[in-house]
Amino acid sequence: MPIVFLCIDPLTNGGNCPALFVDPTSGDLLFQGDEETDAETRAQTARHSPMGERETMVRIPARMRKLILEALSAAENGDLVR
């Protein structure tokens, strides 16, 4: 089953946008966004959860919180955008 789009940053200009997707087979979430490269931020988060060799951290703008919650709620109810 293909990956399903859930939402995108409302201030997007059409490319390289923060977005949220779901894998309907596994339920896994996929976040698209800018990689967090700030060394201090990464050091702070590593104190709680060290980064695995294949992992990265993605920063999603706060303005997307409501959209992400709404999209996740819709996905839970089976209202996926296809």
pLDDT tens, residue by residue, 32-78: 999 999 999 999 999 999 999 999 999 999 999 999 999 888 888 87
User: For residue 76, what pLDDT is reported?
Assistant: 82
Beta carbons of 74 and 80 less than 8 angstroms apart: yes
User: For residue 75, what pLDDT is reported?
Assistant: 82
CA gap 58, 63 in Å, rounded? 15
**Helices (DSSP H) in the chain: which residue ranges?**
39-46, 65-76
Mean pLDDT of 10-16: 80
Using one digit for the tens of pLDDT, what is the confidence trace for 15-28? Answer: 778 999 989 888 89
User: For residue 27, what pLDDT is reported?
Assistant: 86
